[in-house]
A and B are shown apart, each in its own frame.
Chain A
Amino acid sequence: MTTVRTTIRRKLVAGMMLTSVAVLVLTGAALVVFDIVSFRRALVRALVTRAQILAANSSGALAFENPEDASQILAALKPDPSMVAAALYDQQGRVLAAYPVPAAAPARWPRKTGSGQRFEKKWLVVDQPVLEDGRWLGTLYLKSDLRALDERLRLYELVVALAIVGSSGVALALAAWLQRGIARPVRALAEAARNVSEHKDYTIRAHVVSDDELGLLAESFNEMLREIEKRDVDLRQLNADLEWRVNARTAQLEASNHELEAFSYSVSHDLRAPLRHVDGFADLLQRHARESLDDKARHYLAQISDSAQSMGRLIDDLLVFSRMGRTEMQDQRVDLNVLVEEARRVLANEAANRDIHWRVSPLPETRGDPAMLQLVFANLVSNAIKYTAGRAGAEIAIGAEQSDRETVVCVRDNGVGFDMNYSHKLFGVFQRLHSADEFEGTGIGLANVRRIVQRHGGRTWAEGEVGRGAAFFFSLPRETQGEWSERKEAA
């Protein structure tokens, strides 16, 4: 900010100074040249006049060849210190008289009847013919130095220098006064802009000082600020509304989540109690009346117990499923190989006495909730073991493929398979493609798989053919931790 401010002022002042000095120098130079030229002319004129006067006076001395008179006449030049030398030559070119000493003038003068004047180095020389009644008698030689010219030049230098200094001062003062009218409003505008950007205070206004372009600029700036302030207020209002709505929605969600929890707690506690009673009293009845009951009655009692227990299992499964959607998820590095090993270890009993050929390829590392992903593998592997039962040469393959965006894991078996027409039902709650008599289970496993994978941001799908086996796929997005936490917040 400061540099910009200084620059504008400096630029203004420097511009004015340069202009005035340039004008002054040019004008001064022209004046000096003109004056020097006219002064030289005047010098020549004065010396020629003096030479003509001296020549007129010395005609007698020359005519009578009287050196004393001639010397006296030349001695009249003494009061003028600029006179360097003077001499009178006779018709033969001999020196009749010289001033101040004989050596000062050329010893002989070529016979010459004409007049002339010339500048020789630092001197002005005038030859003046001495005439009497039109008859040439000799020549007067006058040599003057140019000290007058030099003095005049020096004076000029002084005057011009003084004029430059003086006018520079005036120009400086003027520039300073003028820049107030330009730089000051600009500076004020810049200051206002800085305050706005620093304090984000859009109520600030620039002070409009003039009705020129700068005033217009300040007004436009203020107009802009008014618009921004209005939008700022609108935005704040909008944000406040949004926040309020988010809070309201969150409260609703929390309430419904709370209700859901209360519901599942009630299912867990209250729904199971009557079932327990049914089974308990059926059991007690069977114990107490075992002797008096016939086989059919005992069978009925067994059916009651069986039904109660199977409903108990359904409720338990439903609870697990509902908990799967509610529990908080961990975010960890997960080695899928470990999960597969663990699943196989847990399911070792189910695979016991079975001849299963396992083909487990190395699996990549991913991020997620290890306990939940463990459940995914447990369900898929358990299914594979279950649905290859009774098949000679059962084969279960587990592998994974990675793309830039996701990891796709596949659990494939060569079991009973399924009809692709019903594949959409596979991942539903309590959906079964085989009867409970054929294969055990409540039909919650794949629903859990889908829910867990969905909570991880992935997809689930399956391929199969009746009698030829099935392949279950799930994908897990490959993502940064940041994306993960974002989605976790949203989930």
Chain B
Amino acid sequence: MSELKRVLLAEDSAKDVELTLAALQDSHLVNEVVVARDGAEAWEYLSCTGAHANRPPVAPAVVLLDLKMPKLDGHEVLRRMRADPNLRTVPVVILTSSREERDIAQSYDFGVNAYVVKPVAFSEFISAVKNLGMFWAVLNEPPPASARKAA
């Protein structure tokens, strides 16, 4: 299990964290999920600084980013990741309520790998998360270790 890399979930709403975790659990996720409650905390984890200065410098398998967060918003975290040589290739999925075109356009501008609008219906959300898991190959399956190490 320690071979599996973690999944970073950056989400400021406790209820959304709970629901997302439930959805991930429902998808039989085996990876450990790290939760950051705002953009700044997510960036500290990603860049191994601040409270996470002492963690082993292993990039997460995938980052699930909310857009609207205190301190640093999702776009800023994404922008910083894409500017960082160690984090540039880490898959990022934006999980948000926003359907605004400019949000979507900007996310793709910054190099997001997927943009998921959280549907109101929970069942749809579960299937969206399931699809994500299959697509990024982080759910139920160990990631190809060699490729991750190179990243």
A interface vs B, CB < 8 Å?
265, 268-270, 272-273, 275-277, 279-284, 305, 308-309, 311-313, 316, 319
Contacts and interface: CB of A to CB of B under 8 A. Distances in A.
Contacts of B67: 269
A286 to B, nearest CB: 10
B2 to A, nearest CB: 29
A280 B100 contact: no
A276 B19 contact: yes
B120 A308 contact: yes
Interface stretch (B52-60, B121-129, B143-151): B121-129
B94 to A, nearest CB: 12
Given A268-B97, A269-B97, A276-B19, A284 B122 contact: yes
Q: Which of A270, A276, A279, A319 counts the most B-chain CB atoms under 10 A from its CB?
A: A276
B84 interface: no
B98 A280 contact: no
Contact of A265 (B22, B98, B122, B125): B98
A327 to B, nearest CB: 8
B99 interface: yes
A281 B19 CA distance: 7
A323 B132 CA distance: 29
Contact of A279 (B97, B100, B120): B120
B121 A312 contact: yes
B16 A276 contact: yes
B15 interface: yes
Contacts of A269: 67-68, 96-98
Q: Which of A283, A308, A311, A312 counts the most B-chain CB atoms under 10 A from its CB?
A: A283
A282 B99 CA distance: 24
11 contacts: A265-B98, A268-B100, A269-B67, A273-B15, A276-B16, A276-B119, A280-B125, A281-B15, A281-B19, A305-B121, A316-B99
B99 A319 contact: yes
B101 to A, nearest CB: 8
Interface in B88-146: 96-100, 118-123, 125
Contacts of B13: 273
Contacts of A284: 19, 22, 122
Top 8 nearest A-B pairs (CB, nearest first) are A312-B120, A283-B122, A280-B122, A280-B19, A277-B15, A272-B97, A269-B97, A279-B122
B119 to A, nearest CB: 8
Interface residues of B, number: 19
Contact of A268 (B15, B98, B121): B98
A273 B125 CA distance: 13
A268 B119 CA distance: 11
A398 B97 CA distance: 38
Contacts of A319: 99
Contact of B97 (A276, A280, A283): A276
B93 to A, nearest CB: 17
A277 B19 contact: yes
A454 to B, nearest CB: 22
Contacts of B119: 276, 312
A388 to B, nearest CB: 29
A372 to B, nearest CB: 15
Nearest to B15: A277
Contacts of B68: 269
A309 B121 contact: yes
B16 A273 contact: yes
A269 B119 CA distance: 11
B120 A275 contact: yes
A176 B50 CA distance: 100
Given A276-B122, A280-B15, A280-B19, 4 more contacts: A269-B98, A281-B19, A284-B19, A284-B122
A276 B120 contact: yes
A279 B124 CA distance: 11
Nearest to B67: A269
Contacts of B125: 276, 280
A273 B122 contact: no
A270 B15 CA distance: 13
B120 A272 contact: yes
B98 to A, nearest CB: 5
A304 to B, nearest CB: 11
Contacts of B19: 276-277, 280-281, 284
Nearest to A267: B97
A149 B68 CA distance: 127
A279 B99 CA distance: 19
Nearest to A315: B120
A279 B125 CA distance: 11
B98 A309 contact: no
A277 B18 CA distance: 9
Nearest to A286: B122
